[in-house]
Structure 1
Amino acid sequence: MQSAPGERVAVTIPSLVRLAWPIVISRSTQVVVGLADAIMVAHLGESALAAATTGALNSTLVFMLPMGTVFIVSSFASQSFGAKDLAGARRYGFYGLLLALLSQVLCVALLPLLPAGLSLLQYAPEVREGVGGYLQVRLLSLGLVVGFEALASYYAGLGNTRLPMVASVIAMVLNVPGNWALINGHFGLPALGVVGAAWANVGATGIGFLLLLAVFLAQGGEARWPRLHGREFVKMLRFGLPSGVNWFLEFLAYTFFVNVVVAGLGTTVLAALMAVMQLNSMAFMPAFAIASAGAIVVGQAIGASARDEVPRTVWLTFALAGCWQGAVGLLFLLAPRWTFSIFTRGESPQDELLALGARMLMLSVAWQLFDALATTFTEALRAAGDTAFTLWARLGIAWLVFVPGAWVSVRVYGAGEVAAMLWLTAYIGLLALLLYLRFRGGAWRRFNLL
């Protein structure tokens, strides 16, 4: 929904749905892209499946720090919008683009270190080769991904969630046939396998970003090229970096869990877990989109000095996100083999993959509502500018509880994949509890980004 200047979104379920559904579609396109990568390389074998999904995970880890940082653009834009300062909101869109450019330059400079880093991980040789090839290509799109998120956050802060949705859908539509052409070799193109999935992703992301950038540069009227201020860029980093580090360190803990704890259990377990997490993105991404919509309303309310509207907005947001994740969890519980079977082809070696994946999918049901609660409060606190607490909460639980607990249980005592999934549930549950207590304590009322 596009809000007129100075017109804030009313705090009701229908208004949240109207604001959220384009974000849901935008985030769901990312789910489709991830699933398409996994499904369309699955026929190449479980090693290719493990390489493509693990490569996507590791590339997301690299993206997470700058991408999580530019999420704060939405907070600045929404509060500026609530304060009726549209020129100020636009400046933060440009700051997000500047950060995207700097991130890409740094990433390219560090690419030569990639092979040495992968050599430290316990992949099977064919999986390591596939992950390395995927990452070499996918990391070339870091600036595109971060730039897309920066502009999507800017428009979302204004209440315009449909424009980023259109760009996301275009990227998704281009990615799927790109996979078909480059993974298997069609239209006279070479069959690149796992690396082909990476190239398809880079191309589709680039086109989506350029479309969004063209619209952004064409708009703005007299404020199309606003005067930028170094102190505002520093302020964005001051509030945004805790959010980015928050996302990065949490994802680093999860990546360690996958690359070290789970990878040591063998290729079949690794492939099963990564496929399960791709399916869980069907629950998480739309819930994250709903939480982001709620955060837009929170930011606009704070910018308009209407903080008393915030708690009701947050609980309505959780109700929507929880209903969605609960419904997906019910599907996983009632039809796990049918749901997971999209990654298998019925060959004898894959019977083990199917049974293992179905069991892990059922275990993932345990964290769905915890995940919805944690996501809702994380986004609400981020919109208020309370980013440092979420950083320390995730850092403490991830690295003092989750990582050592999973390592000792799985690698020292040999508890296997069931214990690994239970540790994921414990981590998300503890995080949800801490963030709930933080929000209820009301510290967020003291923050003012503007």
Structure 2
Amino acid sequence: MTVTLPTSPDLAGPHAPSEWREMLRLAAPLVGANLLQMAVFAVDVLFVARLGPASLAASSLAVSIFGLLIWSLSGLVGAASPLIAAELGRRSHAVREVRRTVRMGGWAGLLAALVATGICQLGGPLLRATGQDEAVIAQAAPFLAVLSLACVPAVMASLLRTVVSTLGRPGVGTAITGLAVVVNAVGNWAFIYGHGGLPALGLIGSAWSSVVTSSAMLLAYALVLRFDRRMHRYRLLGRWWRPEWARFADVWRIGLPIFATIVAEAGLFNGAALLIGRIGETQLAAHTVAMQLAGITFQVPFGLGQAATIRVGLAYGARDHAAIARAGWTALAMSVGFMSTTAALMLAAPRLVLGLYLDAGDPANQAVLGYALQFVMVAAAFQLFDGAQSTCGAVLRGLQDTRVPMAIALFGYWVPGLLTAIGLGLFTPLGGLGVWFGLMAGLVVVAGLLLWRWHRRGALGLLP
């Protein structure tokens, strides 16, 4: 099962080598930052797991709500990337326009983060509505209430990471996220167990560590904006009180569909976990392991997509149709090429890759391993489509095209995707494997439609 990219001279023309170099230069630190962000959450799991399965279950439920909100809102403020890139493409010294976009992106992010804080404060009723065990809710609700205090700094840090990357400092995000891993580890060690003269807070201590970590990241980005020469000339922290209503509307116009697209995709994948949870805990454990593996490989096309939004956005602002095509097809070729490699590895040595998470020699793991091997085979099949849909969505964002891709995501993930998962998972003997076929169906449909839209960008009037 393959995704065939249309033949394009932009992948082999005289400007192709420089585009590949620029894309790699921009994408490599973004991929690194994405992987380090996963490590930040992994640190929480390592520390909380020592408190027992009840605490781990409570924190997992709380973090699933918090994580979905922050990930979605990072898409909202991510609208700053194509807007800034287009301004720089039009005029390389567009200091005032860049400052306006950052300021209004900050306003939008702050408002949305405050709403997210309120949602997290309602953790108890939300968890009861999903039928969770009351004993788990008793720990998860206060944990989520404290974690809600991280919403504002986390969203604002995500905005500033987008900004510094678009302005040519992608390595800053990698360094700061690496710092966050250390801060979170020390914070968990201190707050959970009461080291360093602090009281032992147990599970709640991990939530406070996340608050401190998010705040430290925001402070680090603010220091970079103040003291980095390239950043300081934009004076991005100045005049935050001045409204720019047209730009504010632009942020919401581009950002809200990105937010909805992320919710649509997350809805399918989170729904898959709930469906498999109804089938059996052994299959759910296998699903969790296989999804962790797929999540790691996804960070590469995700980072390439972030870089592609910037590169396409710069060309869009410059009204350079050839550069738009070159940047978009280069990112897609890189993404699908990488995912082809990971798919081949999963097919050739599935036990080897699963050995990163499971001890294959332990008899107690054999049932989980058996299901995980099935799920990884499906994951190998949809690797190419996962990479293609992520990068296609990103290059279209560079063209400031987000509303139709949102509709494609809502349809593809929730109609063929979720309906297939429900039908095959709950009403056939396939069980969890049927749910994974539903995931693949959603990704195939979304990837195909987005790729068609990118290929037809000129005829559809998406070019400047």
Tell me the TM-score normalised to structure 2 length: 0.84
- Structure 2: how far apart are the matches of 1:432 and 1:80? 29
The question of whether the paired residues in 2 share the 8 Å contact of 1:167 and 1:209 is answered with no
Which residues in structure 2 correspond to 1:352-367 (within 5 Å)? 352-367=367-382
In structure 2, relative to structure 1, the CA distance for the partners of 1:115 and 1:104 (3 Å cut) is same
The question of whether the paired residues in 2 share the 8 Å contact of 1:31 and 1:285 is answered with no
| Local SS of the residue matching 1:159 | coil
Name the residue aligned to 1:321. Answer: 335
- Structure 1: how far apart are the matches of 2:343 and 2:194? 36
The question of whether the paired residues in 2 share the 8 Å contact of 1:31 and 1:281 is answered with no
The question of whether the paired residues in 2 share the 8 Å contact of 1:79 and 1:299 is answered with yes
Unaligned runs of 5+ in 2: 1-14
- Structure 2: how far apart are the matches of 1:238 and 1:116? 31
Task: Choose from 37, 40, 43 the match for 1:30.
Answer: 37
Which stretch of the first structure deviates more once superposed, 95-104 or 119-128?
A: 119-128
- Count residues in correspondence: 441
Task: Choose from 287, 290, 294 the match for 1:273.
Answer: 287
Q: Does 1:421 align with 2:428?
A: no
Name the residue aligned to 1:254. Answer: 269
| Local SS of the residue matching 1:274 | helix
Task: Choose from 359, 371, 382 the match for 2:386.
Answer: 371
Which stretch of the first structure deviates more once superposed, 153-162 or 429-438?
A: 153-162
Which residues in structure 2 correspond to 1:215-254 (within 5 Å)? 215-217=224-226, 219-221=231-233, 223-224=235-236, 225=238, 228-254=243-269
Name the residue aligned to 1:299. Answer: 313
Tell me the TM-score normalised to structure 1 length: 0.87
Letter of the aligned partner of 2:440 in structure 1? T
Name the residue aligned to 1:400. Answer: 415
The question of whether the paired residues in 1 share the 8 Å contact of 2:413 and 2:443 is answered with no
| Local SS of the residue matching 2:130 | coil
In structure 2, relative to structure 1, the CA distance for the partners of 1:389 and 1:193 (3 Å cut) is farther
Q: CA deviation at 1:156?
A: 2.1
- Structure 1: how far apart are the matches of 2:46 and 2:375? 18
Name the residue aligned to 1:71. Answer: 78
Letter of the aligned partner of 1:110 in structure 2? I
Q: Does 1:113 align with 2:122?
A: yes
Name the residue aligned to 1:431. Answer: 446
Task: Choose from 165, 176, 191 the match for 1:167.
Answer: 176
Pairwise CA RMSD of aligned residues? 3.1
In structure 2, relative to structure 1, the CA distance for the partners of 1:33 and 1:21 (3 Å cut) is same
Q: Does 1:57 align with 2:64?
A: yes
- Structure 1: how far apart are the matches of 2:260 and 2:414? 14
Q: CA deviation at 1:18?
A: 1.0
Q: Does 1:290 align with 2:304?
A: yes
- Structure 2: how far apart are the matches of 1:41 and 1:440? 47
Unaligned runs of 5+ in 1: 1-7
**Identical amino acids, percent of aligned pairs:** 25
The question of whether the paired residues in 2 share the 8 Å contact of 1:185 and 1:192 is answered with yes
- Structure 2: how far apart are the matches of 1:147 and 1:430? 33
Letter of the aligned partner of 2:42 in structure 1? L
| Local SS of the residue matching 2:430 | coil
Tell me the alpha carbon deviations over residues 180-210 of structure 1, each in whole angstroms, 9 at most, x when there is no partner: 5555665566666665544433322221121
| Local SS of the residue matching 1:391 | helix
Which stretch of the first structure deviates more once superposed, 63-72 or 405-414?
A: 405-414
| Local SS of the residue matching 2:247 | helix
In structure 2, relative to structure 1, the CA distance for the partners of 1:172 and 1:445 (3 Å cut) is farther
Tell me the alpha carbon deviations over residues 348-382 of structure 1, each in whole angstroms, 9 at most, x when there is no partner: 65554444434433432121111111111100001
In structure 2, relative to structure 1, the CA distance for the partners of 1:160 and 1:204 (3 Å cut) is same
Task: Choose from 139, 144, 158 the match for 1:135.
Answer: 144
Which stretch of the first structure deviates more once superposed, 9-18 or 62-71?
A: 9-18
The question of whether the paired residues in 2 share the 8 Å contact of 1:332 and 1:362 is answered with yes
In structure 2, relative to structure 1, the CA distance for the partners of 1:192 and 1:394 (3 Å cut) is farther
Tell me the alpha carbon deviations over residues 231-250 of structure 1, each in whole angstroms, 9 at most, x when there is no partner: 21112111221111221233
The question of whether the paired residues in 2 share the 8 Å contact of 1:76 and 1:157 is answered with no
- Structure 2: how far apart are the matches of 1:416 and 1:118? 25
